[in-house]
Amino acid sequence: MANNPGAKKAIRKIAKRTEVNTARRSRVRTFLRKFDEAVTSGDAAAAAAAFIVAQSELMRAVSKGVVHKNTGSRKVSRLHAQLKKLSAA
């Protein structure tokens, strides 16, 4: 257990940061799920709109440091591939 003031403060800061990051990660997952639902429904217009929002949320998470840059890029790339596949069909 921490027994000096600096270590106690660090524990408080880490707890706050963890809470914020959890909320941000959850928000990203929500928009990814909405995109996935639009793709499974087969609605290309709704999927395109959901893609734009999901992409911006992912890149926002990248800029905040919640998701690694390459992870965000990879996920956006896969979402775009799904969108292209849907609109081509």
CB contact set of 3 (below 8 Å; sequence gap of 6+): none
Report pTM.
Answer: 0.85
Instruction: Give residue for tokens 């660090």.
Output: 10
**Residue 65 carries which DSSP code?**
T
Give CATH for domain 5-88.
1.20.58.110
pLDDT in tens, the chain (89 residues): 788 999 999 999 999 999 999 999 999 999 999 999 999 999 999 999 999 999 999 999 999 999 999 999 999 999 999 999 998 87
Burial 28-67 (b: 16+ CB within 10 A, else e): beebbebbeebbeeeeeeebeebbeebbebbbebbeeebb
Distance in angstroms (rounded) separating the CA atoms of residues 73 and 19: 24
Q: What is the pLDDT of residue 79?
A: 97
- What local confidence, expressed as pLDDT, does residue 63 receive? 97
